[in-house]
Amino acid sequence: MRDNFHDRIRLPSLREKVTSAAAAAHWVRDGMTVGMSGFTRAGDAKVVPLALAERARHEQLKITLMTGASLGNDIDKTLTEAGVLARRIPFQADPALRSAINRGEVMFVDQHLSETVELLRTRQMAPIDVAIIEAIAITETGAIVPTTSVGNSASFAILADKVIVEINLTQSPELEGLHDIFIPKRRPQREPIPIMSVRDRVGTTAIEIPPEKIVAIVITEKADSSSNILPPDAETAQIAGHLVDFFKNEVKQGRLTESLLPLQAGIGTIANAVLAGFIDSPFEHLTMYSEVLQDSTFDLFDAGKLDFASGSSITLSPQKSRDVFANIGRYKDRLVLRPQEVSNHPEVIRRLGIIALNTALEADIYGNVNSTHVLGTHMMNGIGGSGDFARNAYMAIFATKSLAKGGDISSIVPMVSHVDHNEHDVDILVTEVGLADLRGLAPRERARAIIGNCVAEPYREMLRDYVERASRRGGQTPHLLEEAFSWHVRYRDTSSMLLPLEEARLRA
């Protein structure tokens, strides 16, 4: 253990700060705002949060918890069940927390992931009192070397009064050097972010703060949670196939080269599977400028398809995790992890010309997308970075399977019950049925393309009927307001979006 301290806490004066999780947790008091590391289950602070939950059994302890994005290790669940969370910002993906949010017990502020630290920096949200950051090491100057994610850790540590560091001995020391910490200057001194290629390194490899802000260091040996995505299936393979065909044609038309443009892929099964589909494609020398790097990133590296990947975290399945982190040296010169403010920055996304691929919970006939709210009211996870990317991308693609719940739900509906991405930001919609290229189309044309290409029967015919009747009343975006949500209401009341007649016909 002493050796680890020397390697892992290289500024001698900080070694006396090593303490227990319980003792470290006492820096957090009731009513505080706490900023924790953690982005897509990677690099989260793992033991001090649980010590907070433990404390809450004996005393009143309610906090505002800000993170990069979702946490692993049941941290959100444990904190929720202990009643510690008053507010949660800017993303989550935990079933227990989700339920508490939807009961109105935890106030969840669902934010574009690039914006949280801007709001903190300008004090448009309450300031961070304590930051709790997982690290590989603390350097000779007291700088914090993050682990498998950067997320908002750098700005949290810089902006907090006090910083608690969790040194995680299970995280490979070889990750050091992977990170590129760049913090934009305060306005009006702010300058351009000098990233002109996904490869560009523009910052430092560790988070530089005054070492005296580090009030406690806890040594941990808990691993990151693995990703919980599902493997590719027949439908995700079809979605990938439609996209590969689409991009082949873009190359043929001379709009893209065979290295395309830097790819972003949202978290989750569908985006991961679609990206994996590029292994069997004619594209070469691909690059990524994304948030989370999932299994598919490393599959593409191994297939010789991907030249470089920039992200804010690495989140892998158990098998892939063992392969990658045991051999991280093999990938290290082709990887960079950045603060989510930079990985998701509108400036860089627009400059590089990102091809953004994100998942829709549901989409409508005009190409508006709901990424977050079940039946318009109940939160799933949050908008995440999809809005940072879709608004500013070269091309915004949204993918979904056309059906859910064995066909009782059509993912394409007359009107989405919640809008996260409006038609202006949705260029391509793709399902296993097919792909709708919506670029340069007016809403009535978008409806024809989406219904014709992306929807399976009998919903296709039901949507044609809807749009035809709506169009008789005119408008740029024809709708029947009385019926716009009738599919959602029918699903809620009958467990199926199908009309009774259609359902009978289908089941016959």
Catalytically annotated residues: 291
Q: How far apart are CA 407 and CA 102, in angstroms?
A: 26
Minimum gap (Å) between residue 62 Cβ and its own copies: 15
Task: Give the DSSP H or E segment for 491.
Answer: helix 486-494
Q: What is the DSSP letter of 420?
A: S
405 annotated ligand-binding residue: yes
CA atoms of 379 and 376, how far apart (whole Å):
8
State the maximum Cα–Cα separation within the chain, in Å, rounded to a whole number: 78
CA distance 398 to 358: 5
**Distances in Å between the alpha carbon of 232 and those of 192, 296, 358, 468?**
39, 10, 16, 36
Closer CB to its own copies, 105 or 245, in the complex = 105
Rounded Cα distance between 393 and 388, Å, is: 8
- Residue 385 annotated as lining a ligand binding site: yes
Q: In Å, what is the CA distance from 206 to each residue of 74, 246, 311, 335?
A: 27, 41, 16, 15
Return the number of the residue (239 or 342) whose C-beta is nearest its own copies: 342
The least CB distance from residue 66 to its own copies, in Å, is 10
Please check if 329 is assigned to a binding site.
no
- Contact between 340 and 149 (Cβ < 8 Å): no
Which amino acid, residue 105? Answer: E
CB 491 within 8 A of CB 408: yes
Q: Are 112 and 89 in contact (CB under 8 A)?
A: no
Residues in the chain: 508
CB of 473 to its own copies, least distance (A): 7
Rounded to a whole number of angstroms, the minimum distance from the CB of residue 322 to its own copies is 35
Which two three-digit tokens encode residue 278?
């590029």
- Whichever of 70 and 315 has its CB closer to its own copies, that residue is 70
The span from the CA of 397 to the CA of 436, in Å, is 10
Smallest gap from residue 42 Cβ to its own copies (A): 24
Q: Which tokens go with 350?
A: 């627009």
DSSP conformation class of 308: E
Nearby residues of 90 by Cβ (< 8 Å), 6 or more positions away: 66, 67, 69, 109, 110, 111, 112, 113, 115, 116, 382
Kindly tell me the sign of the dihedral angle through the C-alpha atoms of 370, 67, 69, 178: positive
What is the DSSP code string of 63-130?
Answer: EEEE-SS---TTHHHHHHHTT-EEEEES----HHHHHHHHTTSSEE----TTTHHHHHHTTSSPPPSE
Minimum Å gap between C-beta 101 and its own copies is 6
Least spacing, CB of residue 476 vs its own copies, in Å: 4
What's the min distance (Å) between Cβ of 274 and its own copies? 20
Which amino acid, one-letter code, is at 114? S
Cβ neighbours of 336 (radius 10 Å)? 27
Which of 16, 189 has the CB closer to its own copies?
189
CA atoms of 144 and 135, how far apart (whole Å):
6
Mark the binding-site residues for CoA, compressed into ranges: 381, 385, 405
Mark the binding-site residues, compressed into ranges: 381, 385, 405
